[in-house]
């Protein structure tokens, strides 16, 4: 880098700057150091340079809609406030027609993707999940179905007796085109024990995405940070994703998800700091050199910090969403969706070029 924002960068940071500048991969120790440093300006500038090399000033968004067929879930993850037990007040399981009725009430012209996740409801058969996609695909054949997490796919193998590959193939026949990134949480089995994550373990999460990639599917991947994990846990998570990407080249985007408290009334000390959120986005960009995009998820970090994140390595601001429920069932204080005009304004306000995309990052319209 020809210029550093901070003139007194220490030797360790200077070594990392030189590595990034010369295309040398960062390792575990580098990543941990970047979390520990207070030189956030150099970190941000470094991530910004790395992103500009990949994407220029383009920042991507999609007109999409989040759908949740059921909130009934057998898992009891410590961080989740979305799940319900069967028969509990507020629990629901929608039929395909009921979901179509909901979509008809809330959809807006231009929606090109349904983002579909939900509970691990073992009171319905696997065919229910297949039929759910089939109903949407028949009614909205021009809308891409990005559906289910790797943890849901693993759950489907247990209730169906099918292999991961067979489950994915059945869902593809019903219209599935891409997997969502959720269910990763932190890719550490020790973390999963502490946080009562009884769904897919680390190996199964990675194997689901590996199988999807081998079937020709491009997918998304996440990291839920801000609870009991260490900096080392976070970096090891990124390195496992990076290793699988080296193998399959199937991930399109990495999405750091800032943990939300279980109550909207939770005080500021129960939330991740803006400093931590920006650091995580920047470090993600630097560690994951083989994934094109890092997403700044406004649902969790807010629109204004999302704008700042666009100069800290992020190149995607997600989409219109319409009505997000999972983070808002916890303590998210952000909008549950933004309009197309608002997303364009948000990106332009950061001095970047908004680009409307489809699920697979094909450009639909560039707003110079």
Please name which of 122, 112, 193 lies closest in space to residue 146, comparing C-alpha atoms. Answer: 112
In angstroms, the CA 114 to CA 137 distance is 10
Span 244-272, average pLDDT:
80
Q: Is the pTM of this model over 0.75?
A: yes
Query: What does the pLDDT read at residue 252?
Result: 98
* Lowest-confidence pick of 67-81, 232-246, 258-272: 258-272
Q: What is the pLDDT of residues 122-176, one digit of tens each?
A: 999 999 999 999 999 999 999 999 999 999 999 999 999 999 999 999 999 999 9
Query: What does the pLDDT read at residue 83?
Result: 82
In angstroms, the CA 271 to CA 288 distance is 25
Please name which of 312, 292, 305, 302 lies closest in space to residue 355, comparing C-alpha atoms. Answer: 292
Query: What does the pLDDT read at residue 260?
Result: 66
* Lowest-confidence pick of 101-110, 197-206, 322-331: 322-331
What are φ and ψ of residue 86, in 5° steps? -55, 130
In angstroms, the CA 319 to CA 356 distance is 9
In angstroms, the CA 235 to CA 28 distance is 6
pLDDT at 268 over 80: no
Question: What dihedral do alpha carbons 342, 345, 347, 348 form, nearest 10°?
Answer: 170
What are φ and ψ of residue 7, in 5° steps? -75, -15
pLDDT at 313 over 60: yes
Quote the strand ranges of the chain, DSSP E: 58-62, 64-67, 113-116, 144-147, 176-178, 219-225, 251-258, 293-294, 316-319, 353-357, 363-366
Q: What is the pLDDT of residues 160-175, one digit of tens each?
A: 999 999 999 999 999 9
Strand ordering across the sheet containing 316-319 = 316-319, 58-62, 353-357, 363-366
């Amino acid at each position: 880098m020809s210029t550093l924002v901070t003139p007194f960068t220490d030797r360790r940071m200077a070594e990392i700057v030189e590595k990034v500048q010369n295309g040398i991969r960062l390792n575990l120790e580098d990543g941990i150091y970047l979390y520990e440093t207070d030189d956030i300006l150099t970190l941000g500038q470094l991530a910004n340079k790395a992103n500009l090399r990949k994407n220029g000033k383009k920042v991507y968004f999609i007109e999409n809609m989040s759908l949740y067929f059921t909130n009934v879930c057998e898992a009891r993850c410590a961080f989740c406030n979305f799940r319900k037990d069967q028969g509990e007040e507020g629990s629901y399981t929608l039929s395909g027609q009921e979901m179509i009725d909901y979509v008809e009430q809330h959809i807006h012209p231009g929606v090109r993707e349904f983002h579909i996740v939900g509970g691990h409801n073992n009171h319905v058969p696997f065919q229910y999940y297949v039929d759910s996609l089939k109903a949407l695909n028949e009614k909205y054949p021009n809308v891409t179905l990005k559906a289910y997490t790797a943890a849901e796919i693993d759950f489907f193998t247990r209730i169906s007796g099918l292999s991961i590959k067979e489950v994915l193939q059945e869902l593809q026949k019903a219209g599935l085109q891409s997997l969502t990134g959720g269910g990763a949480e932190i890719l550490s089995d020790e973390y999963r024990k502490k946080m009562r994550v009884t769904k897919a373990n680390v190996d199964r999460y990675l194997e689901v995405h590996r199988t999807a990639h081998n079937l020709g599917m491009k997918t998304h991947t996440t990291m839920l940070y801000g609870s009991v994990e260490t900096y080392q846990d976070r970096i090891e998570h990124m390195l496992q994703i990076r290793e699988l990407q080296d193998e399959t080249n199937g991930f399109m985007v990495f999405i750091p998800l800032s943990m939300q408290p279980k109550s909207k009334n939770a005080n500021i000390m129960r939330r991740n700091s803006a400093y931590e959120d920006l650091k995580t986005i920047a470090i993600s960009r630097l560690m994951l050199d083989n994934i094109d995009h890092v997403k700044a998820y406004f649902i969790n970090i807010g629109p204004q910090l999302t704008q700042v994140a666009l100069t800290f390595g992020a190149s995607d601001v997600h989409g219109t969403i319409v009505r997000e429920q999972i983070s808002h069932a916890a303590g998210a204080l952000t909008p549950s969706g933004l309009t197309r005009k608002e997303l364009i304004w948000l990106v332009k306000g950061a001095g970047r070029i908004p680009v409307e995309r489809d699920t697979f990052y094909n450009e639909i319209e560039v707003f110079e």
